[in-house]
Structure 1
């Protein structure tokens, strides 16, 4: 799982979201939850969505939650509505 963390990178810096402190994992009631946030409130929406999709495709069983962004509720709804098989 550590290797997957290194594969999910910030599009602008190429550095792992986990290493930058922009993503964190929690296990709650047997469910993997991954929280992430953009590096800046001015990060373009498309990059914020890409970050979420990268996480979702690497951790398909996880609930992905965007924090600290002006349309986080809408993006969370979309990301967690995606079913990856």
Structure 2
């Protein structure tokens, strides 16, 4: 995704798909800058399947790749251990 994408941009991209409260984690590079990746926590498996249908759709000029991830991946990106 564009490195400057915000939570609001991501919510707009996934319009109609239920993102869990606090469910957007923007990944940062080792120097603390956004790296163009994010993890999204959805409310259930049905929402995950809807989100996967957005694979290779565009956000602005960039196409977005969508993959499944584990809960621990979200925690790591969101700042947990």
Q: Under a length normalisation based on structure 2, what TM-score does the superposition of the two structures give?
A: 0.41
- Structure holding more helix per residue: 1
- Structure holding more strand per residue: 2
RCO comparison, higher one (Cα < 8 Å, 6+): 2
